[in-house]
Amino acid sequence: MASGKDDTSIDKATFLTPRRTRRRLRACHECDLLVALPPLHGGQRASCPRCGHTLSHRHFRPAERSLAFAISALIALAASLYFPFISFEARGVSNAIQLTDTSASLVRFNEPFVGVLVLLTIVVLPAVYLLAVIWLHFGLLQRRPLPRSYRIARALSHLGPWMMADVFVIGALVSLIKIAGMASVDLGLSFWAFCVYALLLLLTTRSIDTDWMWFSLVGEPLAPEGCRPGQPAAEQKLTGCPTCGLVNRLGHFGRGRCQRCGEPLRFRSPHSLQKTWALLIAATLCYIPANLYPIMTTTSLGNETPSTIIGGVMIFLGHGDWPIALIIFTASVVVPIGKVFALAWLCITVRRSGESEFKHKRQTLYRITELIGRWSMIDVFVVAILVSLVHAGSLLSITPGPAALAFSAVVIITMLAAISFDPRLIWDARNMQPHMPAALKRQSPYSPVKEADDA
């Protein structure tokens, strides 16, 4: 591995002496290659030499950095909940809302699932995450972990995909542009506080040094004897913990728990392809009513105008707001459909042998689908903001349509589909089948064949 400072990426494997190797072994979560990490300094990261996945990212003063961001984000969140969020005035009617009204209004209009989903993704889960970061890193600064720190650290890694404050900011901006032509809009102090909170939350998640955090909490036990870096971990009956990164040896049945954090372990996610296919089919079925039914209905002077997802895009185009139309079309049409097709294609091609370059392309496609899935929530957040803000009876009001629930289900299900897909299957070569542990053979999508793979 070549190394450097100032956020340098370490791209090649370093094979250390056996004793030191057992201290710094990591199994890549995306391709299962067993890698020996070199010593890292602040601003450096180590990447898998086969697939490029970041194995560890070291920060300068990681505890102080994360603690400062988390406390600041929590203060900004409190400010965004206390002050007015957005107000508008149209035809002599005015209204002002607070941030939590975006969820409460949906509940009042018989959309409790969507309302709770909005509140969870922008307030509750981020607040829990920030409190957990503060709890953990305050104890680490004192060199005495606080009670329940191990369980809290385990839960921390599972909250990341479900926090969508940054997506909500984009949804708010789209909402403002949508109603700017029909009303005078004022942004309250809460709106600006929320923007700061969304930025600080993003910085907090990026500042977490998981490798350092677990080492400071528990230390790092030696990896099992006989580990061979540079080869797939599963062939050696090893697996890396997805939570703390420690390499563990599993028994004949391919099950166990991490000896450091207690996370349940398997060679591969059980029934990964079957679960992904089932979730993709469910998402496709939900996407049909999400486009056929109106996602919201606008009432102006007693005239009701239902609007579907595509209808909303056409309205923006008709008004000349093509950048907003492009954002809505991309988030609500291109991303969900593209994600379904991409995951389906991965499930099909994962059974095929191929060149290393082809596997890299499939790996990149998976990373993109996992990254962009939550941005489809923009349309749901737009509906939540408009429904809470614009309600002046028959004079001017906006109500949610049945498509809001269906589309919310599409977003959640496709995110679960991406999580259920095990990217390590992309790198499992067919000619490795005879060398796999018996438990891994039962989980592998391959059948024994004589075809060679150049992996």
Which tokens belong to 431? 């000619």
Which pLDDT score, from 0 to 100, does residue 198 have? 96
Distance CA 426, CA 452 (A): 15
Q: Which of 69, 64, 55, 66 is nearest to 24 (CA)?
A: 55
Give the mean pLDDT of 211-222. 85
Which pLDDT score, from 0 to 100, does residue 209 have? 86
How many CB atoms are located within 10 Å of the residue 218 CB? 17
Share of the chain above pLDDT 90, in %: 31
**Rounded to the nearest 5 degrees, what angle is found at the Cα of 416, between the Cα atoms of 354 and 46?**
60
Type of residue found at 340: V
Which pLDDT score, from 0 to 100, does residue 453 have? 36
Distance CA 409, CA 423 (A): 24
pLDDT of residue 388 exceeding 70? yes
Which pLDDT score, from 0 to 100, does residue 220 have? 81
**Phi, psi dihedral angles at 214 (to 5 degrees):** -70, -35
pLDDT tens-digit readout, 143-171: 888 888 888 888 888 888 899 999 999 98
Which pLDDT score, from 0 to 100, does residue 79 have? 94
Distance CA 137, CA 146 (A): 9
Higher pLDDT, 282 or 245: 282
Average pLDDT of every residue of the chain: 83
pLDDT of residue 441 exceeding 60? no
Which pLDDT score, from 0 to 100, does residue 449 have? 36
Distance CA 115, CA 100 (A): 10
pTM attached to this predicted model = 0.85
pLDDT tens-digit readout, 172-212: 888 888 777 666 788 889 999 999 999 999 999 999 888 88
